[in-house]
Amino acid sequence: MRALTTALMLFGGGLVSAMASEAELRLPGLREVHFPALGGASGHTLMLLGIVVCAIGALFGLIQYLQTKALPVHEVMRNVSTLIWETCKSYLIQQGKFLAVLWALIGICIIYYFGSLRHMPAGSVVVILLSSVLGILGSYGVAWFGMRINTQANSRSAFAALRGLPWPPLAIPMRSGMSVGLLLISVELFFMICILIFLPPELTGPCFIGFAIGESLGASALRICGGIFTKIADIGSDLMKIVFKLPEDDPKNPGVIADCTGDNAGDSVGPTADGFETYGVTGVALISFLALTLGAEGLTGAICAKLITWIFVMRIMMIVTSLVAYGLNQAVFSARYGTAKDFHPEKPLTWLVWLTSAISIALTFLVSRLMLGDFTDVHGRAQPDLWWVLSVIISCGTAAGALIPEFTKIFTSTNAKHTQEIVTASRQGGASLNILSGFVAGNFSAFWQGLLMLFLMLVAALMAGHQSLQSIMPEGIGFAAPIFAFGLVAFGFLGMGPVTIAVDSFGPVSDNAQSVYELSQIESVPNVEQDIQSKFGFKPDFQAAKHNLEKNDGAGNTFKATAKPVLIGTAVVGATTMIFGIILLLDKEFGDVISKLSLVQPEIVLGFLMGGAVIYWFTGASTQAVVTGAYRAVVYIKENLDLSAKAASMEDSKEVVRICTVYAQRGMINIFVAIFCLSLALAFFNAYFFIGYLISIAFFGLFQAVFMANAGGAWDNAKKIVEVDLRQKGTDLHAATVVGDTVGDPFKDTSSVSMNPIIKFTTLFGLLAVEIAVAMQKQGQTGLKTGIAVALLLIALIFVWRSFYAMRIPEEK
C-alpha cells in the first residue's frame, strides 16, 4: 500500500504541474477566443441553442427510462432484476469510493500548484477543481444511469418475450440503449459548452484540462475494473456448464448472479464511462489544436472561433440525427415486424446504424455549407470550397462508424462464414480447433479493418492538401493540415455517437434478459399461465420466449463487438492530434524537431520497441487478473455448489461477487499505476523517445485490440450457433464452444476494450508530462527531472512485477 501511495503522489504531483504547463503552453488561444457573428446569429447564441438541444436529448433519455420502468413485468422477473441491480449498485458504490480517493490526491496537488505556486485566486482554483469533479461525475453518473435503466429493461424484455413474438423483447433493449446514448452525449456536450462560454477566458484552458483528467480517471477505473470483473464472473459461471452439465444460467449456480452483475459492470458501465471520456477528450484535442495553431488575435482569432463553433454545432447535430434516425427506424420496424413470427434480430440494429450514418453525412454537408460557405482566410481571400472539404473529411469518420460494424460482422455475426467455420472445426477437432479457428478470424479481421481505416485516413490526408484548408493553416508547419484532418476523422467516428453507444448497450440488456428468464424459474411458478392471462391479457409461449431471447443475445454479442473497433479507432486516430501538440511544443522550444523524428534516430526506433512491449504487458496483466480471479471463483463454486437445492444461497452468490470485485480492483490498481508512471517517466527521460513510444502504443494497441475483440466475438457467437440454431446444449460440441468462449471472454471484454482508455490516457498525460519536462529543463532542473524519471520508472516496474507475480495462481500441493 505504501508503494501505491508513493506512486499516486508522484503521479499526482507531476500531473498537476503538467496541467499548468498545458494551460500556459498548449491552450493560449482559448483564453482570448470571442465568437464572431455567424449568419446573423452569434456563436454564443448557437452554443445556447446547443444547450437547449442537450436538454432535449437528456429529457428523451429520462422519459425513455420512465417508460421502460412502466412496462409490464411479472413479479418473479422483477425480483430477479432488482437483485441484480442491488449487487450492481454495491459494485458502483465501491468504485465511487476508489475514484474519490484518486480525486482527493490529485485535488490536493491542484490546490498546491495553482494556489501556492501560481498564486491564482482561491475562487479560480475552486473552479478548476470543480471542472475535474465534473469530468469524474460525468463518467460515473452516466454509467450509473446506464446500469439502472439496463437492469430495468432486462426483466421487461424477458417478460415481453413471453408473448411469443420476436419484436417486443428486441425493441426494449434498443430503447434503453438509445436513452443511454443520448443522455451520455447530451451531458458531455452540455459540460463542454458551459466551460467554453460561461467561464472567464483565463480559466477556459485549465478547466478543459481538469475536465479531461476527471473523465480519464472515471473511465479508466470503470472500464478496466469492469472488464476484469465481468470476465471473472462469466468464466466462473460458464465452466460449471461443463463440469456439472448445468444449463445456461441455472439458479443452482452461485456464479450466475455475479455474471449478471458483470454483464452490467463490464458491458454497460465500462463502455458508457469510456464513451463519455472519448467524446470529451476528442473534443478537447481538436479545440486545443485550433487554439494552438491559429491563436486568438485579429483575423486568426476570428477563424479559430468560427471553426470551434462549427465543431460544436457538428456535435449538436449528432443528437438531432440520432433522434430522427431512431424515430424513423422504430416506426418502420414496429409496423413491419411488430406481429411477425420470425426475423433476424440484427436487421433493425443494422438499419439504425446505416440510417443514422446517412442522415449525419447529409446534415454535415448542409450545416457546413450554411456556416462556412462564405469563409475567408487570414488574408481576406474567399475560400468557398472549405465547407465541402471539411465535410468530406469529417464524413470519412462518420462512414467509418457504419463500415467498421459491417466489417466486424463479417467475422463475428452468427451468419458469418468465419463464425460458422469455428463450429465446423469444433465438430471433429473439439476445443483445440475451435480456438485456432477463432485466432484465424481475429487475425483476418485486424488486417481488413486496418486497411479500411488506412483508406479513410488516406482520403482525409488527400483532402487536407486542398488549397482552401492549407490557406488557414500557419505557414512553415506543413503537417498541420493532415493532422487536423486526422483529428476530424476521429471526430467523425463519433458523429453517430448516441447510436454507437445504443447498439453497444443493447448487448448487456439482451444477455441479462435471458438470465432473468432462467433465474426467475417462471415456468415452474404455480398457475403461472392463468396468472399471466388474467393480469396481462395474453397466454405465455415459453418455448418461443427462450428461443427469441437467445437469438437476441446473439445479436447483442455481434453489436457489442461492432462498437469496440469504432471506439479504439477514435483513440488511435485522435492520438495523432495530441502527439502533434508535443511535436509543436518541442519545435517551438528547441527547433529542428523534424530531423530528430527521423527513423534513423535510435530514440525513435527504441520508442517503437518500448510501446509494443507495454501493449503486450498490458494484455498479459489484464488477462492474468481474470485468470486468477476466475480460478478463485471456480474453486469456490465447485466447493459450494449444491445440486440438490432449487437455487444457490444468497450468501454463496454474494461471495462470488466479492471474489470478482477483489481481483478486479487488484488488477486495475497494478495496471493503473504502472501505465501512468511509465508515461511520466519515459517522457521525462527523452521527449523524442517518448513520441516513438506514443506512436507505437497507438498502432500496436489498435491491431491487438481489433484482433482480440473480433476473435472473442467469433468464439462467443459460435457457441450461440450451437445453442440456438443447432439446439445442441450439453453435447461435446457445445462443451468445445464453451471452452472457446471462455478463452474469448478476456480477449473481447477485458484486454481489447481497455486499449481505448490506455491509448488516450497515455497520450493525454504524456503530452502534459513532456511540457513539464521541457519547463524543468529550461529552468536548469535537469538533474531533478532525471531523478523523478528514475523514481517513477522503478515504481512502474514494481507494479509491472506485481501484475503477475503478486497475482498468479498459487501452486497446489
How many angstroms separate the CA atoms of 46 and 741, rounded? Answer: 49
How many angstroms separate the CA atoms of 136 and 215, rounded? Answer: 5
Residues 6 or more apart in contact with residue 534 via CB below 8 angstroms: none
Following CA atoms 391, 394, 397, 401 in sequence, which dihedral angle do they give, to the nearest 10 degrees? -70
pLDDT for residue 435: 96
Phi, psi of 204 (to 5 degrees): -60, -50
Return the beta strands (E) in 680-761 as ranges: none
Nearest to 374 by CA among 388, 392, 387: 387
Cell of 751: 484486454
Q: Which residues pair with 42 in a beta bridge?
A: 37
Q: Which helix (H) or strand (E) covers residue 365, if one does?
A: helix 346-372
DSSP state, residue 592: -
Q: Are the C-beta atoms of residues 493 and 573 closer than 8 Å to each other?
A: yes
Nearest to 235 by CA among 728, 740, 751: 740
How many angstroms separate the CA atoms of 763 and 256, rounded? Answer: 38
Point out the residues of the chain with pLDDT beneath 70.
Answer: 1-44, 105, 108-110, 112-118, 295-301, 378, 476-478, 581, 585, 589, 591, 768, 771, 813
How many angstroms separate the CA atoms of 473 and 580, rounded? Answer: 14
pTM value is 0.86
- CA 734 vs CA 188, 432, 438: distances in Å: 43, 13, 15
CA 479 to the chain's CA centroid: 29
Nearest to 140 by CA among 106, 94, 176, 81: 94
Identity of the amino acid at 271: P
How many angstroms separate the CA atoms of 123 and 199, rounded? Answer: 12
How many angstroms separate the CA atoms of 336 and 351, rounded? Answer: 13
How many angstroms separate the CA atoms of 312 and 292, rounded? Answer: 18
- CA 724 vs CA 239, 323, 414: distances in Å: 19, 33, 10
Q: Are the C-beta atoms of residues 636 and 649 closer than 8 Å to each other?
A: no
Question: DSSP string of 242-257?
Answer: HHS-PPTT-TT-THHH
pLDDT for residue 300: 63
Three-state secondary structure readout of 97-116? HHHHHHHHHHHHHHHHHHHH
Nearest to 317 by CA among 371, 368, 364: 364
3-state SS class at 471: coil
How many angstroms separate the CA atoms of 68 and 58, rounded? Answer: 15
Question: DSSP string of 547-573?
Answer: HHHHHHHHHHHHHHHHHHHHHHHHHHH
Identity of the amino acid at 674: A
CA 570 to the chain's CA centroid: 10
645: left (phi over 0), alpha (psi -120 to 50) or beta: beta
Pairing status of strand 41-42 against strand 37-38: antiparallel
Q: How many CB atoms lie within 10 A of CB 492?
A: 28
- Size of the chain, expressed as the number of residues it contains: 813
Q: Are the C-beta atoms of residues 173 and 157 closer than 8 Å to each other?
A: yes
Nearest to 217 by CA among 675, 537, 613, 573: 675
* 317-343 CB burial, b ≥16 within 10 A, e <16: bbbbbbbebbeebbeebeeebeeeeee
pLDDT for residue 240: 83
Residues 6 or more apart in contact with residue 786 via CB below 8 angstroms: 684, 685
Q: Are the C-beta atoms of residues 759 and 571 closer than 8 Å to each other?
A: yes
